Amino acid sequence: MLTVDVEKQLGEFSLHVAFEAAGGATALFGASGAGKTGIINMIAGLTRPDRGRIMLDGEVLFDDAARIDVPAWRRRIGCVFQEGRLFPHLSVRHNLDYGRWMSGHVADPDAFSHVVAMLDIGHLLNRRPGKLSGGERQRVAVGRALLMLPRLLLLDEPLASLDAARKDDILPYLERLRDEARVPMIYVSHDAGEVRRLATRVVMLDGGRVTATGGVELLDAARDDVLA
């Protein structure tokens, strides 16, 4: 269970959101500029909120009043970024192993081959990220985040840099991820189609505020004003 209640001033833009996310896939849905990525960065520990509190499974990750700010590297929150952010100097295999190395876990060949098979990236293991297509890169990025054994998975517009055909290729992998991996997911998107396929719960954002929370049926009601 993730509880977020944070405030942050980013230049002219003020972000003030509060929401909760349990298991399954929670979508943060809104137009660009609604503050989605800012929220993701605060949950991951990459930017510091001005005020507020972030809790995950009963552990306080951030609390300005109590002066708690767990550094990103200790949060065990997996991230998949829009641009993948694979390490260009490491092979795909070493990118996948990176989280395990850093956290000092022993190798788990079963988990490794399971994730590799689920994402269908076995034929890419010895390549460098520079030699991958956009869709392959994002699948490897998902695998890398999964293999660090995260308590929570943050996906920040993982399909935004791909064309429509590629998106349709990857969506099934993400659906499998949601159904098989049993890691709660926060899925950031401005694409109602993606959210409708993946999300079990939706948090609607606009101008740095939460405007509604509920099931995917929220998308139908809000379609006109969000996507207008």
Partner 1 sequence: MSVLELTPQDWTAILLSLRIALVATVVALPFGIAIATLLARKDFWGKSLLDALVHLPLVLPPVVTGYLLLITLGRNAPVGAFLADHFGIVVAFRWTGAVISCGVMAFPLMVRAIRLSIEAIDRRLEDAASTLGANRTWSFATVTLPLALPGIIAGAMLAFARALGEFGATITFVSNIPGETQTISAAIYTLTQIPGGDAAALQLVIVAVIISVAALVASEWLARRATARLHGA
Residues at the site binding partner 1, with contacts judged by CB under 8 A: 44-46, 71-79, 81, 83, 85, 87-89, 91, 98-99, 102-103, 127-131, 144-145, 148
Q: How far is the CB of 152 from partner 1 (least distance, A)?
A: 11
Comparison of 60 and 149: residue with beta carbon closer to partner 1: 149
Which lies closer to partner 1 via its Cβ, residue 86 or residue 219?
A: 86
**HEC-encoded secondary structure of 22-86:** CCCEEEEECCCCCCHHHHHHHHHCCCCCCEEEEEECCEEEEECCCCEECCHHHHCEEEECCCCCC
As measured in angstroms, the least distance from the Cβ of 72 to partner 1 is 4
Shortest distance, position 197 Cβ to partner 1, whole Å: 25
15/145 with CB nearer partner 1: 145
Q: How far is CA 16 from CA 141, 187, 223, in A?
A: 29, 19, 23
Nearest approach in angstroms of CB 47 to partner 1 is: 10
